[in-house]
Each structure stands twice: as C-alpha cells, then as structure tokens.
Amino acid sequence: MKTITTPDAPAAIGPYSQAIRANGLVFVSGQLPLDPKTGVLENDARKATAKSLDNIKAILAAEGLSLADAVKVTIYLADIMDFSAVNEIYAQYFSEPYPARVCIEVSALPKSACLEIDCIASAERG
C-alpha cells in the first residue's frame, strides 16, 4: 500500500490521505471544489465540478495516471437539480469508455460544498 500526496490538490481536511494505491488500484478521496493554493471553495455547480475534477487529475498525475485510468467515479451533490450542469462539465473531462459512475444527492457536505467527487483508477496499464 502506498500513500499518494501532491501540493497540486487540497490537503486532507481530516485524518485521511489524498489517495492510496493498493492492489493495482488508486483510491482518490472525495475532492471538494477547493483551490489548492488559496483554499477558496467554488460553489457554482459547473465551476465546482471542474475544480473537483482538476483536483482528482492532479492527484492521479502524481502517480503517473490520468482521468483515462478512472474506472469508478462517485459524485455527491447537495442539490440533485445540479445534475445536468455537472454532467455538462463532466463530459468535457471523460471520454469513452466512460468510467462506471454513481451520482447521488446528500443532505450536506463538508464546508457546505455543493458537491464532492471521488474516484477509483486502475494503475495497471493494459
């Protein structure tokens, strides 16, 4: 098992790692739409989606991977009415074959964020 960290994504706000590599998979912790340099939280759904995915990209890049290596994504929305806006931006970050995905509405997220996104990527090339 290997811990993955990068200053190009927000530091963990609790007792967890940005990501862990284990058994050929990289498990990226939920990424809030926080700017890693300023700590500013983005709460426009489109901009927030881009910021969270940029944070995931940075974490994967620290391990030599990209979003093309993603096999599973989970999106947590504070408001399911943001679903279409999130999909619009999400489609700009992923191409076929798309990773498996879950998108659910939750009652609240840390820092009152509008969304949080996590990812599992395959570290095995093939």
How high is the pLDDT of residue 112? Answer: 97
Q: Which two tokens stand for residue 107?
A: 């009652």
Nearest to 30 by CA among 18, 43, 42: 18
How high is the pLDDT of residue 37? Answer: 95
User: pTM score, two decimals?
Assistant: 0.96
For the segment 48-75, the average pLDDT, to the nearest whole number, is: 98
Which alpha helices (H) appear in 16-111, and where do they start and end? 45-61, 83-93
Domain 2-122 part of CATH 3.30.1330.40: yes
Nearest to 122 by CA among 69, 82, 56: 69
Residue 126 has pLDDT above 60, yes or no: no
Residue 96: Cβ within 10 Å count:
4
Report pLDDT digits (tens) over 8-25: 999 998 999 999 999 999
Angle at 80 between CA 78 and CA 81, to 5 degrees: 115
Residue 115 has pLDDT above 60, yes or no: yes
Q: Which two tokens stand for residue 46?
A: 């489109």
What does the domain layout of the chain look like in residue ranges?
A: 2-122
